[in-house]
């Protein structure tokens, strides 16, 4: 079987396809639901803006929508940097409490497209997702800052907003796995593709697109993201003049995975658009146009950095051995990190590929990128936990290089001042540990993995 076919079979997309195929007719029918996309004109009057949100919630409920998507700046649009900072609140503030009560009382999921979340001297542009109980389901903080100058306007978002630290995994909702983005993120295809790779069925781009850029690119970009990712795309938008300086384009939209516009609010200042989302259409689309199966992971790849690890769900092969899932503290798309059986120094862990491959030269482009990213992440975590400033990171690639387990893996070892009489003695100890070091108990390794896992969870 060709290398390309092997790569295709290893694709995460195949898993998604198999899951869709296993769905019963009833399960697919259950995944059909109505969603609503809202459109409004925010100003610096937070109370008036909240009244608009309440009206949009009422309209969405009247259409039996299970989710309402609100635009960026649904809380307010400031007229200056100073005013924006003054009006901003934390996610535990009074305005958020009212949003949560709205979701709870109306039993509806609400996507708060982009709130001004207070953050020291600046703010985050935070996309907050509430479930039907009014609970916080997810928070995504905008990655890309809109710093642009055209004939019509000059905007420097970075003067006020701190960029978010990471992409967030798709969130499980009544209408499938939802990938969260905000406004200017729409111009970057990479996060959309990564979210699709992580299982997203729907992407959402709440926005306050300027009138001139919206007129030129809004619909084109939304349809492009839908077509290239084969996801539903929902984009709630601001509309009209917010103040004397700022005008938004409007045209809140829902777009099908085929690129068809299912709803468009046009230039109404306060409106909703609705559409029935049926995830069962994805199966036939994947089969008709299997783009994600055809991606050349041997030539190019996208790796999502700093993504929250899922709880390990299965034991992993390590050559002919089996790694107990309880000793695994981090998993990425292609790799996993686990506590070691015999340590040379305290905190000595291993990072390996999920696919059993003896040598580095056997890795494809996607695995190589993911492996190095995972190793660097694990190194940073260990140095923070053990309060060290150095690490030995090594790979023994082949038997003559000291490899005893024929499966690609890196050793990550935090270093302390004077931990060896001669610095390079660590490599000697690495070779000798199988003979000199007794194996640690499974309880010791599980306990250590729990420490690392908790640290990752608390800091992500």
Please state the domain extents for the chain: 32-278, 316-459
Provide the pLDDT for residue 251: 98
Question: What amino acid positions are annotated as catalytic residues?
Answer: 72, 142, 183, 409
Residues 238, 38 contacting (CB under 8 angstroms): no
pTM higher than the cut 0.85: yes
At residue 384, the pLDDT reads 97
pLDDT value for 311: 87
Task: Report the C-alpha dihedral over residues 340, 341, 346, 352, rounded to 10 degrees.
Answer: -20
pLDDT at position 30:
54
- Predicted pLDDT of residue 368: 95
What CATH topology corresponds to 32-278? Nitrilase/N-carbamoyl-D-aminoacid amidohydrolase (3.60.110)
pLDDT score recorded for residue 434: 59
User: Among 376, 375, 369, 329, which Cα is nearest to 352's?
Assistant: 375
Positions in the chain short of pLDDT 70 = 1-31, 433-435, 460
The predicted pLDDT at position 269 comes to: 94
Domain 316-459 belongs in CATH node 3.10.580.10: no
């Amino acid at each position: 079987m060709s290398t390309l076919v092997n790569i295709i079979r290893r694709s995460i997309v195949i898993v998604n396809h198999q899951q869709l195929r296993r769905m019963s007719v009833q399960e697919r029918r259950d995944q059909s639901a109505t969603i609503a996309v809202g459109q409004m004109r925010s100003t610096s009057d937070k109370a008036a803006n909240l009244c608009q949100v309440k009206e949009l919630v009422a309209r969405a409920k009247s259409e039996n929508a299970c989710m309402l998507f609100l635009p960026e700046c649904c809380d307010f649009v400031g007229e200056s940097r100073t005013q924006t900072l003054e009006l901003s609140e934390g996610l535990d503030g009074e305005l958020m409490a009212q949003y949560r009560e709205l979701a709870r009382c109306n039993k509806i999921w609400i996507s708060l497209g982009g709130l001004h979340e207070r953050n020291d001297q600046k703010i985050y542009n935070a996309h907050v997702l509430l479930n039907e109980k009014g609970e916080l389901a997810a928070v995504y903080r905008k990655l890309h800052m809109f710093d642009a100058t055209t004939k019509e306007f000059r905007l420097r978002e970075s003067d006020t907003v701190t960029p978010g630290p990471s992409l967030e995994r798709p969130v499980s909702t009544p209408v499938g796995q939802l990938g969260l983005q905000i406004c200017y993120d729409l111009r970057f295809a990479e996060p959309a593709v990564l979210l699709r790779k992580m299982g997203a069925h729907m992407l959402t781009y709440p926005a306050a697109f300027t009138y001139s850029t919206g007129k030129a690119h809004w619909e084109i970009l939304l349809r492009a993201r839908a077509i290239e990712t084969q996801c539903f795309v929902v984009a709630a938008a601001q509309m009209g003049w917010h103040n004397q300086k700022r005008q938004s384009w409007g045209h809140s939209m829902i777009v099908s995975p085929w690129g068809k516009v299912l709803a468009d609010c046009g230039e109404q200042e306060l409106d909703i658009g609705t559409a029935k989302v049926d995830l069962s259409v994805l199966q036939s689309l994947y089969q008709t146009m299997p783009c994600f199966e055809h991606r050349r992971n041997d030539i190019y790849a996208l790796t999502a950095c700093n993504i929250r690890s899922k709880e390990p769900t299965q034991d992993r092969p390590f050559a002919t051995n089996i790694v107990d899932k309880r000793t695994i503290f981090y998993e990425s798309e292609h790799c996993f990190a686990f506590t070691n059986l015999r340590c040379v120094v305290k905190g000595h862990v291993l990072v390996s590929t999920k696919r059993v491959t003896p040598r580095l030269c056997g890795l494809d482009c996607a695995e190589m990128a993911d492996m190095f990213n995972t190793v660097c992440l694990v190194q940073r975590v260990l140095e923070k936990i053990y309060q060290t400033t150095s690490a030995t990171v090594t790979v023994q690639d082949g038997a003559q290089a000291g490899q005893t387990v024929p499966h690609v893996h890196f050793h990550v070892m935090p270093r302390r001042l004077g931990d060896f009489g001669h610095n390079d003695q660590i490599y000697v100890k690495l070779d000798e540990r199988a003979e000199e070091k007794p194996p640690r108990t499974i309880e010791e390794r599980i306990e250590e993995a729990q420490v690392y896992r908790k640290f990752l969870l608390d800091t992500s």
